[in-house]
Chain A
Amino acid sequence: MKRFFAALLRDKTGRLGLAGVLAVLLTALLAPLIATHDPLAMTESLRQAPGNGFLLGTDEFGRDVFSRLVYGARVSVYVGLVATGIGALCGLALGLAAGYYGGAVDNAIMRLMDVLFAFPSILLALAIVAVLGPDLGNTIVAIGIVRIPVFTRTVRAEVLSVKSQEYIASVRSVGVRDSRVLFRHVLPNVMAPFIVQTTLSLSSAILVEASLSFLGLGIQPPNPSWGSMLSESRRVMELAPWTAIAPTVAIVLAILSFNLLGDAVRDILDPKLKSVE
């Protein structure tokens, strides 16, 4: 574990990614302390350029862009983490079951995954949210569900390759219970690609959340979310470009950081997938 972090810090991509991710996480965590104003408070200074105590200016309702940005980080981080968590855990369970038990179980699960996989992720999340109703919880569920097939496939592939190793057969032949085999022997080997996939999924989850809230299907106004901030800014962006630029930069930096981190983690944990150096 310590070696892992050492390797991560040694890699330039890893350092950048880790720095960015930490910045985003801290901003989300410490939002009430960092924000300069109440993100929901409308003031008289409409569409003000940055300055005058408004670090990044104000939007069309006179709300402080900077504070809204900071609270928006909370939404992105919260949704990203929880949704990825849901997807990862369900995918882990399904993948383990499919790979380990094989046969009809495997077939059923994989057909289901195929159906889910057949949809571009945005459309699927969109459909689920639209059906369930746009609010925070449903957004999380939708994004989580969309992520499940990827995890299932990754885990299942790993389980299959581990299963074919001889030592699993020998352990089973001695009569060890299935669940024990799963936990003690199969699971540790599955961990590496699983962790890689988790970090990669985080950035994707943030992207989908932003897209959904851009379309008005995520967290509802007046609560700030980077996507909805961008969407609202379109009405006034020519007069007040900072209202569009700020959320854009935030979104890109956040996703970029998670991607950098994900790449670095992948290079360390799974040399097979390593982008050929």
Chain B
Amino acid sequence: MRTYIVRRVLLFIPVLFGISLAVFALLHMIPGDAVDLMMGVEANPELRAQLLRQYGMDYPWYVQYWNWISGVLRGDFGVSMRTGLPVLPEILSRFKVTLMLTLYSAVVSWLIAIPLGILAAIKRNTWVDGASRFLALLGVSIPNFALGTMVLLVLSLVFCYYPPLDYTPFLASPLGNLKSLIWPSLVLGAIMAGSVMRMTRSALLENLQQDYVRTVRAKGAPERVVVLRHALKNSLLPIVTIVGMQIGSLLGGTVVTEQIFSLPGLGLYTLTGITQRDYPVVQGSILFFAFIFVIINLIVDILYSRIDPRISYR
């Protein structure tokens, strides 16, 4: 197993390199660079050359790439061209926010989706099933920014409540942290619950028709045991898959939610970096995202082998 993990990590290094190269190339190919943006179009050529030199941008792009990537390997992601602050510490502290948001949202979605999915499978073809499936479909059909905006609207108009504008980190105050994150988590969680619930229901239904379930019933098992101990455990594999995919897209999709609820997260940082052509910020963030994605995929695979003894990694 350990060798498998090492192999997976090693295999993904070239992909990460590829991504970093692609991002770098894309950013530097477009006309108009960060310096132009900073100075406006009609700029003094001398000043421009000076700025270019200051930012190390007067070298050919592959040299710039080498400079950057060798820095990355040493843990130095460069500094933001806009603020002058080092990129990596900023990424990490903002990632903590995005991570907390993602975790809370995931928990919310599981609490909603899995019981609903089980209920829908057991009471198949009754109104409970139909209602749950419609709710799930609705969840998949509402964009997170729409739900978020509506929630804010209702909160302010009906309850005269405004979520806090400042973000309280978890270590400072868990309760304050919860208050900062509860509404965005509910929004994201509700949406995510849609697809998890559908997967739970269909995986469970499929498993309930399998031979081994018939055997368990033939042993005289109470229905509760049949569903929870046997069918549900067998359904975990596709559920874990979809949760993995969801967390991946949550990490990226928080951009919009962070903007609506004013959270200092990684998504917002990336977005600002992109619109302002802040190269080190964009390169660093995207590379970081890709890295996290790899880790998540790895965790999902490890979970697979924990759940299902048939899966073994030679």
Q: Do chains A and B touch in the complex (CB under 8 A)?
A: yes
Interface residues of A (CB under 8 A from B): 111, 114-115, 118-123, 126-127, 130-133, 203, 207, 210-211, 214-215, 227, 230-231, 233-234, 237-238, 241, 244-245, 247-248, 251-252, 255-256, 259-260, 263, 275-277
Number of A-B contacts (CB under 8 A): 121
Pair A214/B209 contact, Cβ less than 8 Å: no
Contacts of B15 in A (CB 8 A): 111, 114-115, 118
- Report the minimum CB–CB distance from A108 to chain B (whole Å): 12
Contact of B149 among A126, A237, A259, A263 (CB under 8 A): A237
B269 to chain A, nearest CB (A): 12
Interface residue total, chain B, C-beta cutoff 8 A:
50
* CB-nearest residue of chain A to B247: A120
Contact of B290 among A119, A126, A259 (CB under 8 A): A119
Q: How far is the CB of B11 from chain A (nearest CB, A)?
A: 11
A256–B141 CB distance below 8 A: yes
With A114-B15, A126-B255 as known contacts, state yes or no: A251 contacts B274, CB within 8 Å: no
CA distance A251 to B251 in the complex (A): 23
Roughly how many angstroms separate A241 CA and B200 CA in the complex, as a whole number?
A: 36
Beyond A122-B252, A123-B289, A260-B137, whether A275 also contacts B198 by CB under 8 A is: yes
Q: For residue A119, which residues in chain B have a CB less than 8 angstroms away from its CB?
A: 252, 289-290, 293
Taken together as a complex, chains A and B put the C-alpha atoms of A126 and B249 apart, in Å, by 13
**B271 with A126: CB separation less than 8 A:** yes
Contact of B153 among A118, A214, A237, A260 (CB under 8 A): A237
User: Is A214 touching B145 in the complex (CB atoms < 8 A)?
Assistant: yes
- B residues in contact with A276, CB < 8 Å: 202, 205-206, 209
Q: Can you report 18 residue pairs joining A to B where beta carbons are below 8 Å apart?
A: A115-B19, A118-B293, A120-B250, A120-B253, A122-B253, A123-B286, A131-B274, A133-B30, A214-B143, A230-B145, A230-B146, A241-B153, A244-B150, A245-B153, A248-B149, A251-B146, A255-B141, A255-B142
Q: Are A211 and B209 in contact (CB under 8 A)?
A: no
B143–A256 contact, CB under 8 A? no
